[in-house]
Structure 1
Amino acid sequence: MPALPWTVSNRPPRATRVHVFASRFETRTLWGALTFMARTPGVWRQVRSAPGAYGCALKAEPFRRTFWTLSAWDSPEALKAFAHSGTHAPTSRGLAGQMRDSRFASWPASSDELPVSWAEVRRRLT
């Protein structure tokens, strides 16, 4: 699973303001990276059907123990509701001890700019 490409959950209206969220996770060990990968499918299914989700993507560098996520939402509240519910909530709590470093960024964008490039994600997370 080196990458899960941009997948549209709900197509946003054209020229609509969206809430973009990106994250970068680095696990402490290779075992942590494997655990992250094993838990990804459940969270992936959840985000694809989450209310207010417009799309999501994952870039995995498992041998570097690094994972990048990208998602777009109709509002910060929709993202927060997703993060605190379903599979994501217990998965994120369960993986917390495996993390060496975590970074997060969010910003407004136009729906016409989706998906945001990985270069832009990296720029915002460094």
Structure 2
Amino acid sequence: MERLLMDILNAGIALFQNGEVKIKQSLVELDKIYQELREKGEVNQSIKANQVRELLNKTVQDANEILSKGEESSQQALAKLQENFIRLSAEIESSIPEPFKAAAKNTFEELKHLLSKKQ
């Protein structure tokens, strides 16, 4: 589970580093992570795990919906992704064990920096 959570954070970093250029590719990667997380979720039905899955699903769906309306909406999709990733990273940070949180500190810091830069 921790590996998947790191994958989500790293996908967020890639998304916000590349911005609009690779938004669709990043969404495909996030969707793959969501599918894997959902499959593993059948085993882990904790409230925190369900919240992370729901937020990730919402993030992917919101962005895909906005992007399906046309290329001119990519800025809007990026803004919605940013809003969702702020909530998603906070949820992940609050749900992971302390030893893993310490190991993931740099990843959290980088994602938070990128998210604050885009606002």
Q: What TM-score does the superposition give when structure 1 sets the normalisation length?
A: 0.33
Relative to total residues, which structure has the larger strand share, 1 or 2? 1
Q: What TM-score does the superposition give when structure 2 sets the normalisation length?
A: 0.35
